[in-house]
Structure 1
Amino acid sequence: MKHEELVNMNMKDLKARLKEIGTQAQTAEGEALDALTTEAEDINGILQDIQNRANITRLAAQAGDNAGEGTPGEKGDDVKNKKREERGQSLKDGKTVQFNAKVAFGSVQNALSVTQAVTPKHTASDVKETFNDVSSLVDRVRAIPLNGGETYQRGYVKSYGDGAGSTAESADYSATEPTFGYVTMEKQKITAYTEEPEEMVKLPNADYDSVVEGSVTRAIRKYMNRQIMIGDGTSGKFKGIFHNPTKAADQVIDPAKDLSMKAITDETLDDIIYGYGGDEEVEDVAVLILNKKDLKAFAKLKDKQGRKFYTIVNHGNTGTIDGVPYVINSACKAVTDAQTSTAEYCMAYGPLSNYEMPIFSDIDARKSTDYKFKQGQIAYRADIFAGGAVAAYNGFIRVKRPEAGK
């Protein structure tokens, strides 16, 4: 649905549409899945706007309700009297209460001169987040839940055989045996840990504590995103798309198929698309993984008339280049960066389902106030057991920036 239609829907209908998108996404692929993702992100933004407006309305209503003087007296309707009653009942029940510091230490204010008067400070009710630093790649590769497992082995076809031919009478048939390969994915323990002083949770209004708590999970997802691309494949580690095992028999992607590029040109996208896949067809469900700098180079390229050569549609971390889906991942080097003394991988193109990521456990996130109780520190930790590797022979074509001088 278009944005104009979505903004005219109520919250109930938006949530129903979001649920419908979730169902459709189970079977959607390629551009259809990208469209559903974009619509879901749009709906989430609209729902957040609705919630923000509701919060503002609620705060305004509360301000209006508290503006009156109320009825004086110990049991009156005065707001202060009601708070006193609530605190008194809480104390009787053995609960912790808070008193206004100005009331408890009123003499401090009396000691201030006019020139020392403190002006009031106002604090926002939320924490403004920074730019997204987690690629959506981790959500789009093929995740396989295998709770409690240790390893996961995937078999794949390397060749269907090409030995068919004519045979003389009574002679042996032509041999056309397919060739298979296997890749093993071992579990890796990925962890994140952080601490914060207990004063953090007492800061006014904004929920700083939830931001710190969520950061450990975010850090794990960021690490997994990088490992999908550059995991070195050592014992118990991800085997990234850019990983080349020493033994040729273990290489799921043939390095001889890699493309070498020094710059983004008007032929770059065609070279990648037609360089991927078999000799008999052009693949149409593949995604380009690249650095944001190279996406910028695609966007800036112009034809002889000064018009943009590529049509780029951006949707945050994803989008399309002339209809070809892309996803940004900072683990990729940039073709447009200066050449170094060694060749470096910069882009990969292929169906994201060709990378499999077995998940051997859920993300276990915990909060503890006991570890450094004496220092008043709150600790957060999160961990997950997972692995990953390319699971199809030549499942991606890779673009490499050559070493300097070549």
Structure 2
Amino acid sequence: MKYEDLVKMSVKELKDRLKDLNTQAQAAAGKDLDALLEEATTITGILDDVKNRERLAGIAKDAEGGAEPTGGEKGEEVKDKAREERGQNIKDGKAVKFSAKKTFGVKNALSVSQTVTPTHSAADIKETFNDVSSLVDRVTSIPLNGGETYQRGYVKSYGDGAGGTAEGGDYNATEPVFGYVTIEKQKITAYTEEPEEMIKLPNADYDGVVEGSVTKAIRRYMSRQILIGDGTSGKFKGIFHNPTETKDQVIDPATDLSMTAVDDGTLDEVIYSFGGDEDVEDAAVLVLNKKDLKAFAKLRDKQGRKVYTIVNHGNTGTIDGVPYVINSACGAVTDAQTKAIVYCMAYGPLSNYEMAIFSDIDARKSLDYKFKQGQIAYRADIFAGGAVAAHNGFIRVKRPASA
């Protein structure tokens, strides 16, 4: 068939003609087969032209913003009902979505050069270094929901008055001496804000990281207060805290060790200085700064061998089999001396420190505060307190003041 006859045919007729040509080609050869192939090529070109015209018409339609929905009164009724529902949702404070394509006249992309190629985002968020010492999880926690204070009694001495008595004489008095420490509740809070755009970021849970940061901040604060809490009204009484009144001193400052360097005898000095005269205590933990742990690791003997065998497990580990916990609230013996005394290490059973938990961590998220600015607020709080609960429950290492 000639080209003039083919262009007058419908798409369906052209496809049927191709099928017919294929059937004829099975028995054709030479010039007859060439003619059939030429006609089939012409039909294929006509079909391609039809597709391209349809595609171009669609692009032109989109470029004009698209046609409004038709349907007469029924179509208008549907649009009015949708507008009414959106208006009611806004009044009720609910989220309302509008088609970005219709609202802003978004055009279909015509080529890669006219649009932005997609940017791929990771599905998770890379965490930074750990900033919460595991010390907060290893001391003794006492759940006391709803309480105000917690008083702990402890033995200071069992008395040392036993001895021989003459017949008919009075028995020797040996009275134990008790001490008491009061743990008061402290309100610990954390607060942060983020723009609402954060929750709309693709893939990774940025919002979850922000929300979790408030509870991490509370745990970090508590882990530091276990050591450096100043013991003022309603505050933690830290291991390094020294009350001005002797009767309130759970740890006798006279037992403190003074050091200006870490050497091959440091660990033995700490271990054998802790506890009573009759025992060498076991199950004790050394709390120290990472700088001093580094000093332990760098020590070498005359043959260049390491003095201490250190096994690291992140925030914890062992030095010659003695457990340690890193806490940045500790000063460092290896730092330069200052005009004030600085506490650097504590050694003892972590069960000797009691942390009273007067409430759960209450974490909340608010979409209402700063609604106008599109800010999302997170807050968390807990009521807790802590103190050393055993007489001389830890031995402390301090860096003396400079002369």
TM score, norm. by length of structure 2: 0.74
1:248-263 aligned within 5 A: 248-263=246-261
1:300-339 aligned within 5 A: 300-339=298-337
Cα distance in 2 between the residues matched to 1:338 and 1:101: 65
* Aligned position for 2:366: 368
The structure-2 alpha-carbon separation of the partners of 1:230 and 1:107, relative to structure 1 and needing over 3 Å to count, comes to same
Task: State the secondary structure of the residue aligned to 2:197.
Answer: helix
1:155-166 aligned within 5 A: 155-166=153-164
RMSD: 2.3
Amino acid paired to 1:357: M
Task: State the secondary structure of the residue aligned to 2:302.
Answer: coil
Q: 2:201 aligns with which of 203, 210, 228?
A: 203
* Aligned position for 2:107: 107
Larger Rg: 2
Cα distance in 2 between the residues matched to 1:377 and 1:338: 45
* Aligned position for 1:273: 271
Task: State the secondary structure of the residue aligned to 2:127.
Answer: coil
Cα distance in 1 between the residues matched to 2:100 and 2:204: 19
2:136 matches 1:138? yes
The structure-2 alpha-carbon separation of the partners of 1:327 and 1:99, relative to structure 1 and needing over 3 Å to count, comes to farther
* Aligned position for 1:348: 346
Percent sequence identity over matched residues? 78
Cα distance in 2 between the residues matched to 1:162 and 1:178: 9
Amino acid paired to 1:222: R
Once superposed, which parts of structure 1, at least 4 consecutive aligned residues long, lie more than 6 Å away?
A: 93-104
In the comparison of the two structures, how many residue pairs are matched?
314
Cα distance in 1 between the residues matched to 2:295 and 2:163: 49
Cα distance in 2 between the residues matched to 1:319 and 1:101: 59
1:192: Cα distance to partner? Answer: 0.4
Cα distance in 2 between the residues matched to 1:239 and 1:152: 13
Q: Which runs of 5+ in 2 are unaligned?
A: 1-81, 87-94
The structure-2 alpha-carbon separation of the partners of 1:384 and 1:155, relative to structure 1 and needing over 3 Å to count, comes to same
1:169: Cα distance to partner? Answer: 2.0
* Aligned position for 1:118: 116
Cα distance in 2 between the residues matched to 1:100 and 1:335: 63
Cα distance in 2 between the residues matched to 1:330 and 1:190: 19
Task: State the secondary structure of the residue aligned to 1:107.
Answer: coil
Task: State the secondary structure of the residue aligned to 2:369.
Answer: strand
1:373-388 aligned within 5 A: 373-388=371-386
Task: State the secondary structure of the residue aligned to 1:371.
Answer: coil
2:179 matches 1:178? no
TM score, norm. by length of structure 1: 0.74
1:27-66 aligned within 5 A: none
Cα distance in 2 between the residues matched to 1:210 and 1:101: 30
1:173: Cα distance to partner? Answer: 1.3
